Amino acid sequence: MKKDQTTHFGYEEVKVEEKADRVAGVFHSVAAKYDLMNDLMSGGVHRVWKRFTIEVSAVRAGQSVLDIAGGTGDLTAKFSRIVGSEGRVVLADINDSMLKVGRDKLIDLGVAGNVHYSLADAQHLPFADNSFDCVTIAFGLRNVTDKDLALASMLRVLKPGGRLLVLEFSKPQSSLLEKIYDQYSFKVLPLMGKLVANDADSYKYLAESIRMHPDQETLKTMMQNVGFVECAYYNMTGGIVALHKGIKA
C-alpha cells in the first residue's frame, strides 16, 4: 500500500500510516473499562456471541489456538480450559494496554500455564507458517488497516485444515432493526461512553467503524479471495453480529 493512500477511521478519512496510531489511541483510552463497557453496551449478549464462537471453533484438547485482538482475554480463557495442558493459546493484540489488562485479568482468574502473550499486528503475524489449528479474531478486524493483508497473514499461520473465525459487528437483516440499532449506536453509545468511561469520542468511533466494516457477503468474498475455503457465516441477533468461518485448504 502506498504511503499517500487514505483509509477510513470511523467516518473520517485518514492517511493509511495514521490509522494504527489513531486506533491505538482509542484502545489505550478504553482498555481499563473495556469489559464493563462491553457488558453495558451489549447488555451482556457479547458473552453469548463468544460462546457460540467457541462452539463453532470445534477446538479440542491438545490443539494450538491464536486469539488475535484478544483484548481482555474472554475467548482465551475459554480456549485455555478446552486445550488443556497439552495445548496452547496465544493471546495477541496490537495494543499493549489491552494486552496488559488481558494478561492481568487472566492471571487473576488463574488462567495460566498454556497461555502465551504476544504484542502483534494482525497484518504481519510473528508466527511460523502452519502453526495453529484455529485462529480467532473477535471484534478486531474492523480496526485493522489492511484487512486483506491481515486475512492472508491468518491463512499463512493456520495449519492445513485449520479454521479461521471472525466474530464482528455486521449488517442487521431487518430495516426496522437497523433503524433502532442506528439510534442506539449514535445516540446511546457515545452517551454511555461519556458517563461510564468519560470518553464519548472513542465510543463514537466504535459505532462509526462498525458501519464502515464490510457486510456479511463482502467479508465472505474477501476470505475466499485470500484462499479460505468452505467459507460460511452465521448471523446472530438479527445480523448485528456475524460469525464468519473459513478453512485453510
Partner 1 sequence: MIDPGFNSVLALALEQAINTALKLDPGTRARLRKLGKSLFHFSCSAPETNFYFEIHAFDPPDRATHVSVASYSEKTVTTKISASLLDTLLFLATGKLEGSTNLVGSGISILGDSAKLMELQGILQDLDIDWEQALQEVSTPGGEIAGVLSHQAVNAIKMFLAWFNKSRTKFHDNLATYLQEELRLLPTQMEFNNFYENLAELRSDVERADARLSALLQKLKAH
| Residues at the site binding partner 1, with contacts judged by CB under 8 A | 45, 48-49, 51-52, 55-56, 58, 234-238, 241, 243
In the complex with partner 1, the residue whose CB is nearer, 51 or 187, is 51
User: Which position has the grid cell 504511503?
Assistant: 3
In the complex with partner 1, the residue whose CB is nearer, 58 or 195, is 58
In the complex with partner 1, the residue whose CB is nearer, 52 or 184, is 52
In the complex with partner 1, the residue whose CB is nearer, 16 or 45, is 45
Least spacing, CB of residue 47 vs partner 1, in Å:
9
C-alpha closest to that of 63 among 141, 132, 115? 132
